[in-house]
Amino acid sequence: MKHQRIAILAVMLAAFGIAAIPVESGAQSSTGRKARVAVLDFDYGTVMSSTSSMFGTNVDIGKGISQLLVTDLVKNGTFSVIERSALDKVLAEQNFSNSNRADPASAARIGKVLGVDYVIVGTITEFGNETNKQNAGGGGGNFHGFGLGGVGHSNSKANVVIDARVINIDTAEILAVAEGKGESSRSGVSLLGGGGNWNGFGSGNVDFGSSNFQNTIIGEATKKAVDNLAGDLAANSGRLSANVHTFKGEGLIAAIDGGQIILNVGGKAGIKAGDTIEVTRVTREIKDPATGQVLRRLTTSVGTLRATDVDDASAICAPVTGSGFQEGDHVTFTTDHPVPAVSGGASPAASQNSQAQGSSSTTPGASSNSQASPSTSPAAGQGASGGGQPNFTAIKAEFIPGEKTIFFDDFSDMAGDEPPPHWKIRGAAPELRVAGNTRELVLIGNRYSIYPNITGLPKNFTMEMDLSCEKGEVDDVNGCGSINWYFHDKTGKVELLKIWVGMDRGTEDKKSIEWRLGLWTDKEALGEKDLTTDWKQPVKLAMWVQNGRIRFYVNGDRVFDFNQVELGDIASLQIDFWSHDTTMAIRRARFAESTPDFGQTIMASGKFVTHGILFDTDSDRVKPESAAVLQMIARVLTTTPDLNVEIDGHTDATGNAAHNMDLSKRRAEAVKNILVSQFSIDAGRLTTAGFGATKPIDTNDTAAGKANNRRVEFVRK
C-alpha cells in the first residue's frame, strides 16, 4: 500500500552512537515512579517528496526517527519508555493509519490501550538538502545500487527539523511542546555521501552500517536533531507527573460448567489470572411513572470470583465467596491494565448489532465488543437530552433509509488477504483495513472500477455510502480525484442515471475539498452544484429515489432535489474512480427499497418496520442520523391520538444470545423514552419488547441478511 511503508530504518538504532543527555530526572510521582510514555511514529507527510528522492517510497523515516528518540529517552532516564514491540502490537491490532499519526485524539486513544501516562507525537517538518549547485536527474538514478533519483550536489547542506508534542491520554490535551534541529554540510559530496561503502543500497533494501550512515551529512543532521529534541523533552519533563491509572471493566457470566465459571470477557478487557471479580444481579428496575424511563437498577451482591485461566476473549473463574451464580449475572473488576469500553460484557461479536458499522461515535482502538459511551456528546448544534440521547427535536433531517435491504456491505465478512466477496474490482489493489469497530475497503490505484453485486434495483430505492480519501497533504490542484456512478439498464450499455462527484481541488487554506456534483439521466442533464467538505473526514453520501423524485445528500444536507425524473429498470451499477493515486476507502454501502409512509403502513398492515433507527455500537444510545425517522413517527402519533403501538427491538444472531436479548429490550425502551420525553407522546400509548435474534426476517449468513435482521418494529395495538 502506497502510504504503508516498510519501516526499514529500524536498523538506524545500531548506527547511531547517541550519547546520554545529562538532565535532572523529572516526570515522577510521589512514589518515585517515572511517567510512562510511548513515542508514536512521527508524521513526515510534509517532507515525503524529498525523502522519496533519497530513499525511495518504501522507507518510513517517521518510524526510524521515533525509534532513535526512544533510544535517547531511555539513555537519559527521564521517562519510562514503552517497548517498541508492545507499541507495534497495538498499532497492528488497531491498524493505526499513517494519516492520524499526529492527531492528539488518536494518540490519546492509543495511549489508553497501551496503559501509559503520556504519548509523544511529532512531525518532521524539514528533512533534506540546501545546496548552491544541484543535479536532480529524476527517479531513475542509481548510486552504487541505491536509487537516488539523480540527487547530487557540489556543496550540500542537510537540514532536519522535528516538532514534538506531549499528549495527556485522559484529556488529549497538549501538555508540552519541543523542537529539535540539526544541520550538517560538506563540499563535493552528495546528500547521502561522505564516506563508507554504499554497495547494497536499493529501494526497499537499505542496509545502514553504523559508520556509513553516520558519515553522511543527512545522518549527522538527523542525529543532531534527535539529540536536540530529546534534550528539549527532558527539560519539559517537570510539567508532567506519573499517573496511577485504574480501570473498571464489566462483563457477564457466559456459562457454568461444574465448578468452573466462564466469563465473556478476558485478557483484552484487562483481566489477568489472579484478579478478583465481583458478581452482582439486577433485582429491580425503578422507572419513572410518568415516562416509563428507567431511573435506577437495583442490584444485589452474589459473591466474588478469582480468575484462574485467561485468554483474549474469556476467563475461567473459581468461586471465592457466595453461591448460586447464574448465567447472565453481571461481573465487574478493576485492573491497572487498559480496559476497552464494554457494555455489560458483550460478546466480542456483538458489535455487529450496531446498525451503523464504523460509526464516528464508536471509540477507535477499543475491542470488538466496545460501545460508545452514553455520555458521548451529540453532534454540534444538536443539544442533548435525558439519558445521554441527542435532542431529536432540534436536528434538521429528512433522509430516511430504505426498509428492505437489497445490498449491504460493512466488510465484516471480508478477509484481510482476500478480495471483497460482494464487489467485482477492476484496476485497483483492494485491501481490508481494520481500526477498532471500523472496517474499510481500501482501494489503491489511479483509475479503476468497482461493481457491487446488485442484480437490479426497484423503482423506489435509497443508496448510502461512506467514503474517505487519504493524502499525505492536500494541495490546491490535486484533491481526491473524482467518482462516477453509472446505473445501467439490463443491456449494460445505457446509463439510466449518472452521478459525477469531482473532488479534484483543495481550498486555498488546504483544509477542505472543493466538490463539483452533477446528475444526468439518459434523457437530460439534471443539474450541477459546488460545495466543500473537510478532506480529512469521511463523507456520507446518500440518495433517495421515490416516485420519480431524486434527492441527493452529502453529510445529511440535501444538495439536489429533482422531480418527475423518468428512469428505466436499473439492472446494475458501476462505480469509476479517478483518484490521482490517492488512497480511497469505503466504510459502508447500503441499497434498500424505499421506506413506505409510517402512518399509511401501520394503519393498513398493523406493522411498520424500520432500519433507519440506528444505535451506537453495542449500545442503546440512538444515533443522531435517526432523527428523520423518529420525527416522522412522532408526527403520526401526535396527529393520530388513538394509535397505540408496541416498539420491538431486534438484533441479528451474531454474539451472545442473552446479551442480544437484553440489548434489544434496552433499545426498544430507549426509542420509547425519546418519543415520550422529547415528542410528548403519552407513555401509556407505548409498550416495548425485545426479541434479540429470535425473530429473523432474513438469513444470518450474509452481511445483507444481518442488516435486515437488525431493525425496530412498531406494531399496532
**CA distance linking residue 7 with residue 242, whole number of Å:** 31
Q: Evaluate whether residue 348 is within a structural domain.
A: no
* CATH, residue 330: 2.40.10.410
Class of residue 492 by CB neighbours under 10 A (exposed 0-12, middle 13-18, buried 19+): exposed
Average pLDDT estimate for 202-212: 42
Is the per-residue pLDDT at 347 higher than 80? no
- 314 with 172, same domain? no
DSSP letters of 640-695?
A: -TT--EEEEEE--S-S-HHHHHHHHHHHHHHHHHHHHHHH---GGGEEEEE-TTSS
Per-residue pLDDT tens for 468-496?
876 545 554 455 778 889 999 988 888 89
3-class SS of residue 382:
coil
Domain range for residue 677? 598-716
For residues 322 and 505, what is the distance between their CA atoms, to the nearest angstrom?
A: 66
Distance CA 425, CA 381 (A): 40
Please say whether the beta carbons of 252 and 278 come within 8 A.
no
Grade residue 607 by pLDDT with cuts at 50, 70 and 90. Answer: very high
Among residues 239, 269, 302, the one where a domain terminates is 239
pLDDT for 57-81, tens place per residue?
566 777 878 888 888 888 877 788 8
Q: Which residues, 6 or more positions from 30, have their beta carbon under 8 angstroms from its beta carbon?
A: none
> Does residue 214 fall inside a structural domain?
yes
If asked whether residues 513 and 563 sit together in one domain, one would say: yes
CATH of the domain at 636: 3.30.1330.60
Q: What is the DSSP string of 632-655?
A: HHHHHHHH-TT--EEEEEE--S-S
In a domain, residue 385? The reply is no
- What is the H or E stretch that residue 590 is in? strand 583-593
Which of these, 190, 112, 102, 108, lies nearest to 144 by C-alpha position?
A: 190
CATH at 438:
2.60.120.560
Kindly state whether residues 124 and 224 are assigned to the same domain: yes
pLDDT score, position 207: 42
- Based on the fold, state whether residues 47 and 132 are members of the same structural domain: yes
Q: For position 82, which CATH number holds?
A: 3.40.50.10610
**Backbone region of residue 19 per phi and psi (left: phi > 0; alpha: psi in -120 to 50; beta: other values):** beta
Same structural domain, 107 and 187: yes
Residue 399 domain flag: no
**Contact call for residues 538 and 440 (beta carbons, < 8 A):** no
Examine the pLDDT at 10 and tell me if it is beyond 80: no
Across all residues in the chain, what is the average pLDDT? 74
Report the C-alpha gap between 415 and 469 in whole angstroms: 22
C-alpha distances in Å from residue 506, one per residue of 60, 116, 234: 26, 37, 39
Most confident of 18-32, 112-126, 148-162, 664-678: 664-678
The grid coordinates listed for 393 are 427535536
Residues 426 and 509 in one domain: yes
Which amino acid type is present at position 232? D
Q: Are residues 142 and 16 in the same domain?
A: yes
CA distances from 275 to 258, 301, 305, 315 (A): 21, 18, 8, 10
634-654 residue pLDDT tens? 999 999 999 999 999 999 988
Compute the distance between CA of residue 369 and CA of residue 663 in angstroms, rounded to an integer: 13
